[in-house]
Structure 1
């Protein structure tokens, strides 16, 4: 691991993405949003995005990281500019929680699941191997990606308390 002072830390807000080289740590916090993490093990290059919705649904002259299809295009451009081949990257998918559990009984697919389905489709369309995923559920995820090693740290929030209970109370 590089010296702590040599590490650049990037925090991705929703709609953000980063692609770069060693000595970079990328962090984000996910709910129904999804992150695709790409890593090139030999070149020690990688990227991560944090998209909110699968697609904008209408054409636009400027690509926007808030949409899965558009941010994937931005990441692919960055990979192309790095001189590495897209097919040499390993991908992982995170997020897509159902943040409104009280609506879980409806048959309608929630936005988190749409985001996960989009991430899987985008990787498959580009023939990028998905080496793992941690998706779904009803809790937030704190994600940290160390580009120099390809290591990913994941921490999920504690489950929320049952309706009508205060923190520290237990149901009977």
Structure 2
């Protein structure tokens, strides 16, 4: 069987059985990967904001962390698995503008995305087994549903800006 290749944009979530590889590019957005080692199912989301003021009649939107996690909850139930049987990896939350003055913490979207990812996973009892978060830059991420492995390329924009000013 050929391996499925999926690219996630902002707000996308994909959950499937192996073999598959899911890719995305992250700045201040965060991706959570979930993997069930025994069943070899899993997925990845790419959210840009922690939450929104959602009205009950609106469909879930993966651009928001809490709603992306609710979409994961549906997939976990659909596959008749338990949250605690998954392993999570969390990536992103970078500062894309390192030369600008740092925002107050309440306005730091990357930091808020990181905090809510940790909180949502803890609430569900899903252990985080790896993470690469924060910093000044962006990431390219590939998640392999067959093995649970994640590959990451990080472009440190802080280094780029420091070298230019020297």
Q: Same fold (TM over 0.5)?
A: yes
2:54 aligned with 1:55, yes or no? Answer: no
2:94 aligned with 1:97, yes or no? Answer: yes
The residue number in structure 2 matching 1:153 is 151
2:35 aligned with 1:39, yes or no? Answer: yes
Shift in CA distance, 89/111, structure 1 to aligned 2, threshold 3 Å: same
Q: Deviations over 1:34-66 (max 9, x none)?
A: 001100001000110000100013434211000
The residue number in structure 2 matching 1:84 is 81
Contact 2:94-2:136 within 8 A present in 1 as well: yes
> Superposed, which structure 2 residues align to 1:57-76 within 5 Å?
57-61=53-57, 62-76=59-73
How many correspondences in the alignment? 163
Secondary structure of the structure 2 residue equivalent to 1:157? strand
Contact 2:32-2:91 within 8 A present in 1 as well: yes
Q: Mark the runs of 5 or more structure 1 residues left unpaired by the alignment.
A: none
Which structure: larger Rg? Answer: 1
Contact 1:98-1:104 within 8 A present in 2 as well: no
CA distance in 1, matches of 2:99, 2:56: 35
Correspondence for 1:116 among 114, 117, 128: 114
2:24 aligned with 1:28, yes or no? Answer: yes
CA distance in 2, matches of 1:60, 1:138: 37
Contact 2:137-2:157 within 8 A present in 1 as well: yes
Whose strand fraction is larger, Structure 1's or Structure 2's? 2
Say what the alpha-carbon RMSD is for the aligned residues.
1.9
CA distance in 2, matches of 1:77, 1:50: 16
Whose helix fraction is larger, Structure 1's or Structure 2's? 2
The farther-off stretch of 97-106 and 13-22 is 97-106
CA distance in 1, matches of 2:98, 2:56: 33
Shift in CA distance, 158/108, structure 1 to aligned 2, threshold 3 Å: closer
